[in-house]
Amino acid sequence: MINLGILHGITGVVAIILLIWVLVWKVYAVWMAAKHNHKKWFVALLLLNTASILELIYVFHIQKKTWHAVKKDFSRAWESLTSSK
């Protein structure tokens, strides 16, 4: 029989990982839409919750970002957050 306490703990961890995944991509995609003055995309990305599917389509298909460019953007953002100025 499955121990429900362990299952509950695993479910919570998975939920937190998914929440972080969705928030990171949502913030990045909404920021890109605002930066490029894509008002309709901005509203759609901000209001629709699609488990980051819409955000990924926007970043990689509409903005035509490469994975390398996305990693570079994330690195710059992380450095600006963690630098002590």
Q: What is the pLDDT of residues 38-61, one digit of tens each?
A: 999 999 998 988 888 999 999 999
Total number of domains constituting the chain: 1
2: tokens are: 């499955």
What stretches in the chain show pLDDT beneath 70?
1-7, 84-85
| Domain of residue 67, residue span | 4-82
Q: What integer pLDDT is reported at residue 66 of this predicted model?
A: 96
Q: What integer pLDDT is reported at residue 36 of this predicted model?
A: 95
Q: What integer pLDDT is reported at residue 50 of this predicted model?
A: 84
Quick check: helix, strand or coil at residue 66?
Answer: coil
d(CA 71, CA 68): 5
Q: What is the pTM of this model?
A: 0.72
Helix 4-35 and helix 67-82: axis angle, to 10°?
100
Asked if 26 and 50 touch (Cβ cutoff 8 Å), the reply is no
Q: What integer pLDDT is reported at residue 84 of this predicted model?
A: 63
